[in-house]
A = this chain, B = another copy of it.
């Protein structure tokens, strides 16, 4: 992976760092896409060039994730938050009960939005542990006839991640994978719906990918806006209305880049290695700490605190001066957070660890 001198290592939780080759290609062809004399932003989504891009992006994503023909792959405008509403509107009949497992803020938000449309049963709530661990499956209180079970495989704020797929319910499993999709191989067949906003591992904010088992579509409620009716969008190849074409284009470039990196097995290995070395640096130090239980620490978002939080500001200033940006932790937990999405090179993690060691030696 290359890293240009004028670029920084950007640890933003999202919108987040993108692969440099993707940005370079987008830049090179921004005024003249495929020799058309037009930007990709300036062409109709119904023109043959864009239709081809759309088909290619879907095919590449299907190949990367091993998505079978039992599933539709949709590219929908907006982010995951709009899909918080689409899930109950498409999967839950009026009066139905839906199960939500809460392991962080994003799950809370998804459940709050679902409560507009259905009776929400909270299966388990990690709030008691400040979300530093995943509640034990034995403690989950599943509904008898839930329309689905929703969970958030990775929570960005505290940095809690499922390292296997929960296997506790007969209801279709729905996952908000915004901050973990494409970070490693997954078994799509275990899920009813997978959705993800683009701005972490897929591309630029403004589009969401939604993978839905075909037999779960076609029952959207009347009050479902057409743009989030899965059957409507599937029938129209996600072009019932004008899609967010530039964000879609960036996604297509990112999918190609992932394939060029060796696919999800290779990226998964790299992501595991990146996370493990940063957690090791934190755990080996008496100055830095991370409160999350070892078996559910996130590969994508690594929060940590300094032993003396009066040093937070100078840490952030010096890090930025050293080309390590957006390390400030979320306001709900304070401290620092390093997000290590696919496009964060291993060299960025090495640079961060070296900086942390130097900072501890001189300030700690």
Q: List residues of chain A with CB under 8 Å of any chain B CB.
A: 4, 6-8, 10, 12-18, 20, 23-24, 26-27, 30-32, 36-39, 41-45, 47, 77-82, 84-85, 113, 116-117, 197, 199, 204-207, 222-228, 240-247, 250, 323, 325-326
Contacts of A43 in B (CB 8 A): 10, 12, 15, 326
Contacts of A30 in B (CB 8 A): 23, 26-27, 30
Chain A contact surface mostly: loop
Q: Which of B42, B244, B326 contacts A12 (CB 8 A)?
A: B42
Contacts of A85 in B (CB 8 A): 225-227
B243 with A205: CB separation less than 8 A: yes
Can you list 15 pairs linking A and B with CB atoms under 8 Å apart? A12-B38, A13-B44, A15-B43, A27-B31, A37-B325, A41-B205, A45-B205, A77-B244, A81-B241, A81-B242, A82-B227, A84-B226, A116-B222, A204-B246, A205-B242
Known: A7-B32, A18-B41, A42-B17. A206 touches B246 (CB 8 A): yes
Contacts of A17 in B (CB 8 A): 38, 42
B42 with A113: CB separation less than 8 A: no
**What CA separation (Å) do A78 and B227 show in the bound complex?**
9
**What CA separation (Å) do A26 and B40 show in the bound complex?**
13
Contacts of A27 in B (CB 8 A): 27, 30-31
**What CA separation (Å) do A13 and B47 show in the bound complex?**
12
Contacts of A39 in B (CB 8 A): 18, 23
A207 with B205: CB separation less than 8 A: no
Contacts of A323 in B (CB 8 A): 37
**What CA separation (Å) do A15 and B8 show in the bound complex?**
33
Residue of B nearest to A244 (CB): B206
**What CA separation (Å) do A8 and B113 show in the bound complex?**
46
14 additional contacts (CB under 8 A) given A7-B38, A85-B226, A113-B226: A8-B36, A12-B38, A13-B44, A17-B38, A18-B39, A18-B42, A23-B30, A30-B30, A77-B82, A81-B227, A82-B241, A84-B226, A204-B245, A205-B245
**What CA separation (Å) do A18 and B16 show in the bound complex?**
26
**What CA separation (Å) do A39 and B12 show in the bound complex?**
12
**What CA separation (Å) do A242 and B15 show in the bound complex?**
8
**What CA separation (Å) do A64 and B81 show in the bound complex?**
31
A242 with B10: CB separation less than 8 A: no
B31 with A242: CB separation less than 8 A: no
Contacts of A13 in B (CB 8 A): 44
